[in-house]
Copies of this chain bind each other. A is one copy, B any other.
Amino acid sequence: MAAAEARPGGRRRCRRLEGEAARAVLGAADTLLFDCDGVLWRGEAALGGAAAALGRLAAAGKRLCYVTNNSSRTRQAYGEKLRRLGFPPATPRHVFGSAYCAARFLRQALPPGAAAYVLGGPALAAELREAGVPHLEPGPAALPGPAPADWARAPLDPAVRAVLVGFDEHFSYAKLCQALRYLLRGPDCLLVATNRDHRLPLEGGAAIPGTGCLVKAVETAAEREAFIVGKPNRYMFDCVASEFDIDPARTIMVGDRLDTDILMGNTCGLTTLLTLTGVTTLEELEGLWKSQKTSHFSWVTWK
Protein backbone atom coordinates (compact mmCIF):
# COMPACT_ATOMS: atom_id res chain seq x y z
CA MET A 1 0.00 0.00 0.00
CA ALA A 2 2.71 2.47 0.97
CA ALA A 3 4.95 3.76 -1.75
CA ALA A 4 6.94 6.71 -0.52
CA GLU A 5 7.89 8.05 2.85
CA ALA A 6 9.38 11.24 4.17
CA ARG A 7 10.62 12.27 7.56
CA PRO A 8 10.51 15.76 8.96
CA GLY A 9 13.23 17.72 10.68
CA GLY A 10 15.35 19.03 7.86
CA ARG A 11 16.22 15.63 6.40
CA ARG A 12 14.49 15.94 3.04
CA ARG A 13 14.05 12.42 1.84
CA CYS A 14 11.61 10.45 -0.18
CA ARG A 15 11.93 6.79 -0.96
CA ARG A 16 9.98 3.81 -2.03
CA LEU A 17 9.06 1.75 0.99
CA GLU A 18 9.35 -2.01 0.75
CA GLY A 19 10.61 -4.98 2.75
CA GLU A 20 13.05 -4.14 5.51
CA ALA A 21 12.68 -0.36 5.16
CA ALA A 22 8.91 -0.60 5.48
CA ARG A 23 9.23 -2.77 8.57
CA ALA A 24 11.66 -0.29 10.14
CA VAL A 25 9.44 2.74 9.51
CA LEU A 26 6.29 1.03 10.72
CA GLY A 27 8.13 -0.51 13.68
CA ALA A 28 9.17 2.94 14.90
CA ALA A 29 5.56 4.20 14.99
CA ASP A 30 2.91 3.72 17.62
CA THR A 31 0.12 5.68 15.88
CA LEU A 32 -0.99 5.80 12.26
CA LEU A 33 -3.44 8.37 10.90
CA PHE A 34 -5.24 7.27 7.76
CA ASP A 35 -6.95 9.34 5.15
CA CYS A 36 -9.93 7.31 3.84
CA ASP A 37 -11.17 8.06 0.29
CA GLY A 38 -8.51 6.90 -2.19
CA VAL A 39 -6.43 5.32 0.59
CA LEU A 40 -8.66 2.73 2.23
CA TRP A 41 -11.46 2.61 -0.31
CA ARG A 42 -13.00 4.03 -3.44
CA GLY A 43 -16.75 4.44 -3.07
CA GLU A 44 -17.99 1.22 -1.49
CA ALA A 45 -15.01 -0.96 -2.47
CA ALA A 46 -12.01 -1.43 -0.17
CA LEU A 47 -8.68 -1.04 -1.92
CA GLY A 48 -6.83 -4.33 -2.41
CA GLY A 49 -4.69 -5.24 0.57
CA ALA A 50 -5.67 -2.25 2.69
CA ALA A 51 -7.92 -4.09 5.13
CA ALA A 52 -5.34 -6.84 5.62
CA ALA A 53 -2.53 -4.32 6.13
CA LEU A 54 -4.50 -2.41 8.74
CA GLY A 55 -5.43 -5.70 10.39
CA ARG A 56 -1.73 -6.55 10.80
CA LEU A 57 -0.97 -3.08 12.18
CA ALA A 58 -3.80 -3.37 14.71
CA ALA A 59 -2.62 -6.85 15.70
CA ALA A 60 0.87 -5.40 16.25
CA GLY A 61 -0.64 -2.99 18.80
CA LYS A 62 -0.58 0.19 16.72
CA ARG A 63 -3.18 2.87 17.36
CA LEU A 64 -5.11 3.51 14.13
CA CYS A 65 -6.98 6.79 13.64
CA TYR A 66 -8.87 8.09 10.61
CA VAL A 67 -8.63 11.70 9.44
CA THR A 68 -10.78 12.63 6.48
CA ASN A 69 -11.85 15.91 4.84
CA ASN A 70 -15.09 14.26 3.72
CA SER A 71 -17.89 15.97 5.65
CA SER A 72 -20.71 13.73 4.48
CA ARG A 73 -20.44 11.09 7.20
CA THR A 74 -20.49 11.14 10.98
CA ARG A 75 -17.83 9.48 13.15
CA GLN A 76 -20.38 6.75 13.82
CA ALA A 77 -20.99 6.17 10.09
CA TYR A 78 -17.26 5.93 9.42
CA GLY A 79 -16.93 3.31 12.15
CA GLU A 80 -19.69 1.31 10.48
CA LYS A 81 -18.14 1.64 7.03
CA LEU A 82 -14.74 0.47 8.30
CA ARG A 83 -16.39 -2.61 9.84
CA ARG A 84 -18.50 -3.26 6.73
CA LEU A 85 -15.43 -3.22 4.46
CA GLY A 86 -13.42 -5.58 6.66
CA PHE A 87 -11.13 -3.10 8.43
CA PRO A 88 -10.21 -3.61 12.09
CA PRO A 89 -12.96 -2.44 14.48
CA ALA A 90 -12.78 1.31 15.11
CA THR A 91 -14.71 3.24 17.73
CA PRO A 92 -16.19 6.60 16.66
CA ARG A 93 -13.59 8.13 18.97
CA HIS A 94 -10.82 7.14 16.54
CA VAL A 95 -12.49 8.86 13.59
CA PHE A 96 -11.80 12.54 12.81
CA GLY A 97 -13.99 13.56 9.92
CA SER A 98 -14.25 17.20 8.95
CA ALA A 99 -17.91 17.24 10.05
CA TYR A 100 -16.93 16.24 13.57
CA CYS A 101 -13.92 18.57 13.67
CA ALA A 102 -15.99 21.51 12.40
CA ALA A 103 -18.59 20.93 15.11
CA ARG A 104 -15.84 20.74 17.69
CA PHE A 105 -14.31 23.96 16.41
CA LEU A 106 -17.62 25.81 16.57
CA ARG A 107 -18.37 24.49 20.07
CA GLN A 108 -15.11 26.10 21.18
CA ALA A 109 -15.32 29.26 19.09
CA LEU A 110 -18.96 30.32 19.47
CA PRO A 111 -20.31 32.09 22.54
CA PRO A 112 -23.05 30.22 24.46
CA GLY A 113 -26.36 30.15 22.61
CA ALA A 114 -24.88 31.27 19.29
CA ALA A 115 -26.00 29.27 16.26
CA ALA A 116 -24.54 28.24 12.91
CA TYR A 117 -26.03 28.66 9.45
CA VAL A 118 -25.08 25.43 7.68
CA LEU A 119 -24.39 24.72 4.03
CA GLY A 120 -24.01 20.98 4.33
CA GLY A 121 -25.70 17.66 4.69
CA PRO A 122 -27.29 15.55 7.44
CA ALA A 123 -23.93 14.31 8.79
CA LEU A 124 -22.75 17.84 9.44
CA ALA A 125 -26.02 18.62 11.21
CA ALA A 126 -25.74 15.42 13.26
CA GLU A 127 -22.22 16.25 14.45
CA LEU A 128 -23.33 19.78 15.38
CA ARG A 129 -26.23 18.31 17.34
CA GLU A 130 -23.90 15.84 19.06
CA ALA A 131 -21.55 18.73 19.97
CA GLY A 132 -24.44 20.82 21.27
CA VAL A 133 -24.03 23.58 18.69
CA PRO A 134 -27.39 25.17 17.75
CA HIS A 135 -27.83 25.31 14.00
CA LEU A 136 -30.34 25.82 11.24
CA GLU A 137 -31.28 22.48 9.69
CA PRO A 138 -29.68 22.03 6.26
CA GLY A 139 -31.55 20.86 3.17
CA PRO A 140 -33.02 22.44 0.05
CA ALA A 141 -33.88 26.16 0.24
CA ALA A 142 -35.91 28.28 -2.15
CA LEU A 143 -35.62 32.00 -2.82
CA PRO A 144 -38.30 33.79 -0.80
CA GLY A 145 -39.81 35.71 -3.71
CA PRO A 146 -39.32 36.71 -7.33
CA ALA A 147 -37.14 39.83 -6.95
CA PRO A 148 -33.73 40.62 -5.43
CA ALA A 149 -35.41 42.96 -2.96
CA ASP A 150 -37.42 39.98 -1.65
CA TRP A 151 -34.26 37.89 -1.28
CA ALA A 152 -32.65 40.57 0.84
CA ARG A 153 -35.69 40.71 3.13
CA ALA A 154 -35.95 36.98 3.97
CA PRO A 155 -35.94 36.39 7.74
CA LEU A 156 -32.54 35.94 9.39
CA ASP A 157 -32.02 34.10 12.69
CA PRO A 158 -30.65 36.62 15.20
CA ALA A 159 -28.70 33.84 16.99
CA VAL A 160 -26.52 33.01 13.97
CA ARG A 161 -22.87 33.87 14.59
CA ALA A 162 -21.23 31.51 12.11
CA VAL A 163 -21.63 30.27 8.56
CA LEU A 164 -20.37 26.70 8.17
CA VAL A 165 -19.69 25.41 4.66
CA GLY A 166 -19.37 21.67 4.02
CA PHE A 167 -20.32 19.40 1.18
CA ASP A 168 -23.86 20.33 0.22
CA GLU A 169 -25.67 18.69 -2.66
CA HIS A 170 -28.47 21.23 -2.08
CA PHE A 171 -26.11 24.19 -2.45
CA SER A 172 -27.97 26.94 -4.31
CA TYR A 173 -28.03 30.64 -5.04
CA ALA A 174 -30.70 30.99 -2.35
CA LYS A 175 -28.34 29.54 0.26
CA LEU A 176 -25.40 31.59 -0.98
CA CYS A 177 -27.60 34.65 -0.58
CA GLN A 178 -28.49 33.83 3.04
CA ALA A 179 -24.85 33.01 3.84
CA LEU A 180 -23.76 36.41 2.53
CA ARG A 181 -26.45 38.17 4.52
CA TYR A 182 -25.28 36.53 7.75
CA LEU A 183 -21.64 37.31 6.95
CA LEU A 184 -22.49 40.95 6.33
CA ARG A 185 -23.09 41.11 10.09
CA GLY A 186 -19.32 41.54 10.21
CA PRO A 187 -16.45 39.77 11.96
CA ASP A 188 -18.81 38.64 14.73
CA CYS A 189 -20.15 36.12 12.26
CA LEU A 190 -17.46 33.49 11.65
CA LEU A 191 -16.87 31.87 8.27
CA VAL A 192 -15.78 28.25 8.72
CA ALA A 193 -15.44 25.49 6.12
CA THR A 194 -14.76 21.78 6.38
CA ASN A 195 -12.20 21.64 3.55
CA ARG A 196 -11.02 23.05 0.21
CA ASP A 197 -10.99 19.82 -1.85
CA HIS A 198 -12.28 21.16 -5.14
CA ARG A 199 -13.01 17.95 -6.94
CA LEU A 200 -14.06 14.47 -5.89
CA PRO A 201 -12.75 11.78 -8.22
CA LEU A 202 -15.11 8.90 -9.01
CA GLU A 203 -14.50 5.60 -10.78
CA GLY A 204 -13.57 5.71 -14.48
CA GLY A 205 -12.06 9.22 -14.57
CA ALA A 206 -15.36 10.91 -13.70
CA ALA A 207 -15.41 13.68 -11.10
CA ILE A 208 -17.86 15.87 -9.26
CA PRO A 209 -17.27 19.29 -7.69
CA GLY A 210 -15.98 19.27 -4.12
CA THR A 211 -16.69 21.48 -1.13
CA GLY A 212 -13.86 23.83 -2.17
CA CYS A 213 -16.03 25.17 -5.03
CA LEU A 214 -18.80 26.12 -2.62
CA VAL A 215 -16.30 27.67 -0.21
CA LYS A 216 -14.92 29.83 -3.04
CA ALA A 217 -18.40 31.06 -3.94
CA VAL A 218 -19.11 32.09 -0.34
CA GLU A 219 -15.66 33.64 0.16
CA THR A 220 -16.03 35.63 -3.05
CA ALA A 221 -19.43 37.00 -2.03
CA ALA A 222 -18.30 37.80 1.51
CA GLU A 223 -14.86 39.17 0.60
CA ARG A 224 -13.48 37.03 3.43
CA GLU A 225 -11.33 33.95 3.79
CA ALA A 226 -12.82 30.96 5.58
CA PHE A 227 -11.16 29.17 8.48
CA ILE A 228 -10.58 25.69 7.09
CA VAL A 229 -10.97 22.84 9.55
CA GLY A 230 -9.68 20.07 7.27
CA LYS A 231 -6.27 19.10 5.93
CA PRO A 232 -3.81 20.63 5.15
CA ASN A 233 -4.72 22.82 8.15
CA ARG A 234 -3.22 21.37 11.32
CA TYR A 235 -6.49 21.74 13.22
CA MET A 236 -7.49 18.18 12.37
CA PHE A 237 -4.25 16.83 13.84
CA ASP A 238 -4.72 19.02 16.90
CA CYS A 239 -8.10 17.32 17.41
CA VAL A 240 -6.41 13.91 17.39
CA ALA A 241 -3.67 15.12 19.72
CA SER A 242 -6.18 16.54 22.19
CA GLU A 243 -8.05 13.22 22.43
CA PHE A 244 -5.06 10.85 22.48
CA ASP A 245 -1.56 10.99 23.88
CA ILE A 246 0.26 11.51 20.56
CA ASP A 247 4.02 11.67 20.04
CA PRO A 248 4.48 13.26 16.58
CA ALA A 249 7.85 11.59 16.23
CA ARG A 250 6.16 8.19 16.53
CA THR A 251 3.15 9.01 14.34
CA ILE A 252 2.70 8.36 10.62
CA MET A 253 0.23 10.21 8.39
CA VAL A 254 -0.89 7.97 5.53
CA GLY A 255 -2.59 9.65 2.57
CA ASP A 256 -2.97 9.81 -1.20
CA ARG A 257 -2.63 13.58 -1.68
CA LEU A 258 0.47 15.72 -1.40
CA ASP A 259 -1.50 18.94 -1.06
CA THR A 260 -3.65 17.86 1.89
CA ASP A 261 -2.52 14.68 3.69
CA ILE A 262 1.23 14.94 3.24
CA LEU A 263 1.31 18.70 3.71
CA MET A 264 -0.57 18.44 7.01
CA GLY A 265 1.67 15.60 8.18
CA ASN A 266 4.74 17.61 7.32
CA THR A 267 3.39 20.73 9.05
CA CYS A 268 2.75 18.73 12.22
CA GLY A 269 6.14 17.02 12.29
CA LEU A 270 4.86 13.54 11.46
CA THR A 271 6.40 10.89 9.28
CA THR A 272 4.37 10.90 6.08
CA LEU A 273 3.50 8.07 3.84
CA LEU A 274 2.06 8.64 0.39
CA THR A 275 0.04 5.80 -1.07
CA LEU A 276 -0.14 5.94 -4.84
CA THR A 277 -3.72 4.72 -4.83
CA GLY A 278 -5.63 7.99 -5.18
CA VAL A 279 -5.12 11.56 -6.34
CA THR A 280 -1.32 11.98 -6.52
CA THR A 281 0.37 9.70 -9.05
CA LEU A 282 3.98 8.55 -9.28
CA GLU A 283 4.42 10.53 -12.54
CA GLU A 284 3.15 13.66 -10.84
CA LEU A 285 5.44 13.13 -7.88
CA GLU A 286 8.49 12.69 -10.10
CA GLY A 287 7.47 15.60 -12.33
CA LEU A 288 6.98 17.91 -9.38
CA TRP A 289 10.29 16.88 -7.91
CA LYS A 290 12.15 17.46 -11.18
CA SER A 291 10.53 20.88 -11.69
CA GLN A 292 11.57 21.93 -8.18
CA LYS A 293 8.04 23.02 -7.42
CA THR A 294 8.57 22.42 -3.80
CA SER A 295 6.23 24.89 -2.14
CA HIS A 296 3.79 22.23 -1.00
CA PHE A 297 6.18 19.40 -0.38
CA SER A 298 9.62 20.74 0.26
CA TRP A 299 10.29 17.53 2.11
CA VAL A 300 10.24 15.43 -1.05
CA THR A 301 13.39 13.88 -2.41
CA TRP A 302 13.31 11.02 -4.83
CA LYS A 303 16.05 8.44 -5.12
Question: B43, A149: Cβ atoms under 8 Å?
Answer: yes
Chain B: minimal CB distance from A155 (Å): 14
Instruction: Answer whether residue A29 sits at the interface, using C-beta atoms and an 8 A cutoff.
Output: no
Stretch at the interface among A9-17, A19-27, A217-225: A217-225
What separation, in Å, do the CA atoms of A172 and B200 have in the docked complex? 17
Partner of A168, one of B173, B199, B212, B213: B173
The residues of B that contact A203 with a CB separation of less than 8 Å are 149
The residues of B that contact A218 with a CB separation of less than 8 Å are 213
Mark each residue of chain A from 212 to 247: 1 if its CB lies under 8 Å from any CB of chain B, else 0: 111011111101000000000000000000000000
Question: B220, A149: Cβ atoms under 8 Å?
Answer: no
Question: A176, B43: Cβ atoms under 8 Å?
Answer: no
The residues of B that contact A172 with a CB separation of less than 8 Å are 170-173
Question: A209, B149: Cβ atoms under 8 Å?
Answer: no
The residues of B that contact A221 with a CB separation of less than 8 Å are 198-199, 209-210, 213
Question: A207, B220: Cβ atoms under 8 Å?
Answer: no
Question: B170, A208: Cβ atoms under 8 Å?
Answer: no
Question: A200, B148: Cβ atoms under 8 Å?
Answer: yes
Mark each residue of chain A from 139 to 173: 1 if its CB lies under 8 Å from any CB of chain B, else 0: 00001000011011000000000000000111111
Instruction: Answer whether residue A177 sits at the interface, using C-beta atoms and an 8 A cutoff.
Output: yes
Interface size on A, residues (CB 8 A): 38
Known: A220-B198, A220-B213. A180 touches B152 (CB 8 A): no
What separation, in Å, do the CA atoms of A181 and B219 have in the docked complex? 24
The residues of B that contact A149 with a CB separation of less than 8 Å are 43, 202-203
Chain B: minimal CB distance from A201 (Å): 10
The residues of B that contact A206 with a CB separation of less than 8 Å are 152, 181, 184
Query: A residues touching B (Cβ–Cβ < 8 Å)?
Result: 43, 143, 148-149, 151-152, 168-174, 176-177, 180-181, 184, 198-200, 202-203, 206-210, 212-214, 216-221, 223
Could you name 21 residue pairs across A and B whose Cβ atoms are closer than 8 Å? A43-B148, A148-B200, A151-B208, A152-B202, A152-B208, A172-B172, A173-B214, A177-B208, A177-B209, A180-B199, A180-B207, A181-B206, A184-B207, A198-B221, A199-B223, A209-B220, A213-B217, A213-B218, A213-B221, A216-B219, A216-B220
Q: 13 additional contacts, CB 8 Å, given A173-B214, A177-B208?
A: A149-B202, A152-B206, A152-B208, A169-B173, A173-B209, A176-B209, A209-B220, A210-B221, A213-B217, A213-B218, A213-B220, A216-B219, A216-B220
